[in-house]
Amino acid sequence: MILSNNNAAISYISLSFSDGSSTIDIYQNQDVAVTFNQYGSITADLTVHYSNGDSFSNLSAVFPGCNGSPVTITKPINNDKDNSPFTNWKVPYLIR
């Protein structure tokens, strides 16, 4: 699902998971299987690579918590860099 207003042409996305399960590259219209090592919170370090050679990275909580638990965001992989207001980002009600 690529949502854009600038015709961004994505080549592939690299994902590295905090549970150490795997690092994958996924291309458009491709499926890649991953088996995680744990049920707890898992964070992904993503890098999006564009066709023109540009890229950007961000962290994302893949599984914020166990089933049924409230949404709480895990600490990013690099805790030293985290003084972020997004670490405990809460779900706003207006899109519910």
Partner 1 sequence: MKSLKCTFCAMGILMLNLSVQAQTEYAKTIDNITQYLDKSPISTGILYDRTPHYALLTFFNQFGRVDTTNTEHLLQAYYEMQQSSYNKSGFTNTSVYRNSIESMNLQNKIPIMVADYNYQTLALNSIDNGLLNYSNGYLNYVSGVTPAIYSNNRIQLAAPMTINRFGLSYTFSLRP
**Nearest CB to partner 1, comparing residues 20 and 84:** 84
- Residue 42: exposure state from Cβ atoms within 10 A (0-12, 13-18, ≥19): buried
Q: How many CA atoms does the CB half-sphere of 57 hold within 13 Å?
A: 11
**70 interacts with partner 1 by CB under 8 A:** no
Give the number of residues in contact with partner 1, rule: CB under 8 A. Answer: 58
Identified binder of partner 1 from the candidate list 52, 53, 70, 94, rule CB under 8 A? 94
Identified binder of partner 1 from the candidate list 46, 51, 52, 70, rule CB under 8 A? 46
Is residue 57 helix, strand or coil?
strand
